[in-house]
Structure 1
């Protein structure tokens, strides 16, 4: 069994290098119009192209077919992965959880009072699924999408697809963008087993209900997230995460 890296959320944040390379909209000249419109809206000119973001959030998470309030904090570092830690409550008791993918190893763990396990998952399938989460969460760290190695395809008047590799896995990230360049939806094929059977690729992503600007980055700050995005199953069984981002810092 692969050993889970002993690294905390603070460790991951502090390991990310601070960037001094400014965002220049002229660097986007060869991108499709929709990709350029999105990135120009998401990143203010001369904003340092960050390697990581740290987020504070609250919302609701669906566990055992019931919605529970949560508070959470997350670090996404594009070159190494992410760590998300949160607290929710069930029957008056706090449940502390952590999802992570760091240096190629993924894990999910939840404990009542931080002591008694209620859910733990690891292994190759969890790692691949966690990579998919990082890929779709590039909408919260849009500097990742300025990488010149990314190839862009404009699918229609409102959708553009970014094709790239992140943490060793290929991604096709489809962004739905408004006329003003605001992100409305992000979707990928993510490895998972939402039906509880064998892992396979499933449409996954988030619907953006509100956006805000932090440190020169305009990102989604109210989201509905889940499986089967784009179908009726999203509303009935796929949606499991509703979050509002309260604060974000970049480096």
Structure 2
């Protein structure tokens, strides 16, 4: 859980596919930030203030990116498969998620990304045979929604987002303008200030019936501490949250193994 050492440049991990390394490098900050501006808390909806007061103690640097190592299971082809991933996440700017899993006993590696270059998916078997590739407007919009939702991994960056009151008690709406589109995420916070749930209408086509705004969400449990910041440790994510099809829409279960905030 070590933070970015002052004065030392960050390197692109060797596990990041070559095609994604420029994207990764472009998201890395070059300086250690000043303390987070906690004066912004006063203007936030009470649940948002409760979360960020808990997650961002006084004196915490205003970290803008997180490098996250995670393990878990992802559902591919109707089966749950183990994965290991490393992600660089810069709320409001972009992300790269590079992972490794196995299908039919063969290694599958690749990345999902969004940034100034737009969204992109690129996955290969044995590092050679393409199995999933994607670019274009629909990939851009879906990946932007993902970035908005995963911004909660960098609570200090969320201090600078747009906030509004949520639809229910203990909720607040976190909003980002990404690629010219607004992405709204409804967060639920428990009485102690822990983030427990995220819901949003994310652009996607989970059932092959066409792209549209679909119910999407994640649940969070546990906490890890990195760079002075408290983050959720485990998450479960999927489509059709809050509907009768929620169980079938779940496709992602992960545990954070390590975080470097920069």
Query: Would the TM-score normalized by the shorter structure come out above 0.5?
Result: yes
- Counterpart of 2:49 (choices 30, 36, 41) is 36
1:226 match: 238
Between 162-171 and 104-113, the greater mean CA deviation after superposition:
162-171
Q: Deviations over 1:229-249 (max 9, x none)?
A: 1223121x2111111110011
Distance 1:58 1:8, change over 3 A: farther
Describe the superposition over 1:5-55 as per-residue Cα deviations: whole angstroms up to 9, x where unpaired.
8644651353x2434221243431122211110111111211111111100
Mapping for residues 1-251 of structure 1, pairs under 5 Å? 7-8=21-22, 10-14=24-28, 16-147=29-160, 150-235=162-247, 237-251=248-262
- Given that 2:27 and 2:94 are in contact with CA atoms closer than 8 Å, whether structure 1 keeps it comes out as no
| TM-score of the superposed pair, with normalisation by structure 1 | 0.91
Secondary structure at 1:232's aligned position in 2?
coil
* SS of the residue 2:43 aligns to: coil
CA contact (8 A) 1:151 1:164 kept: no
Kindly tell me: are residues 48 and 193 of structure 1, through their superposed partners in 2, closer, same or farther at Cα, counting changes over 3 Å?
A: same
CA distance in 2, matches of 1:179, 1:169: 32
Q: State the TM-score, normalized to the length of structure 2.
A: 0.87
Task: Give, in whole Å, the separation in 2 of the partners of 1:129 and 1:115.
Answer: 26
How many corresponding residue pairs?
244
Structure 1 vs Structure 2 CA RMSD: 1.8
**Regions of 4+ moved over 3 Å:** 5-10
Gaps of 5+ in 2: 1-18
Q: Distance in 1 between matches of 2:222 and 2:178?
A: 26
